[in-house]
Amino acid sequence: MAVRAQEITENYALYNGDCIEVMGGFPDESIHLSLYSPPFAGLYHYTSDERDLSNNPDYETFLEHYGFVISELHRVTLPGRMTAVHIMDIPKGNTGRGDGLFDFPGDVIELHCQCRKPDCKASDFKRRKGLCGHGEWEYAA
Ligand SMILES: C[S@@+](CC[C@H](N)C(=O)[O-])C[C@H]1O[C@@H](n2cnc3c(N)ncnc32)[C@H](O)[C@@H]1O
């Protein structure tokens, strides 16, 4: 497990590292719930680390990278348990002249479907709406 720093107590374990590499050290079917907020592709850049999902050159490459996160989540999550993701549509530009949006929630649902049984359908997943500091959000579970 590639961990930069960690703290392990009786009640919790915190690991600082690339989530894909860190999850790679977890046993299969060992997690009940994952809850997280991923980068919204390149909307904001958080670090200059090439492992940072926000540093992919375009939306398609970001989704390919993010697919490894979802694959690991599927491997480590116990059957019947949950993953929740803070997510929203992503603006394609900022000109104010009809820039359009990427359907990021839809694409994340699609990535989850690709990791599941062959007959998995996007309609098997719920979308919820809410509000937070960033505005409207949705998650797929
Ligand atoms: C939308 S922010 C959420 C931050 C924090 N959870 C919060 O709510 O304030 C996304 C975070 O994911 C981090 N991140 C990006 N790629 C990562 C990776 N491969 N492994 C671990 N963290 C990553 C980014 O550096 C950034 O800090």
> Model confidence over 84-103: pLDDT tens digits?
888 888 999 888 888 889 99
138, 127 in Cβ contact below 8 A? yes
Looking at the CA of residue 65, tell me the nearest atom of ligand 1: 19
Higher-pLDDT residue of 131, 39 = 39
Q: Is the pLDDT of residue 32 over 70?
A: yes
| Residue-range domain boundaries for the chain | 28-140
Q: pTM for this structure?
A: 0.86
53 lines ligand 1 (CB under 6 A): yes
Whether the Cβ atoms of residue 24 and residue 1 lie closer than 8 Å to each other: yes
Please give the mean pLDDT across all residues of the chain.
87
**DSSP percent split of the chain into helix, strand, coil, nearest 5:** 30, 30, 45
39 Cβ inside 6 Å of ligand 1: yes
Percent of the chain's residues with pLDDT above 90: 57
d(CA 84, CA 17) in angstroms, rounded, equals: 20
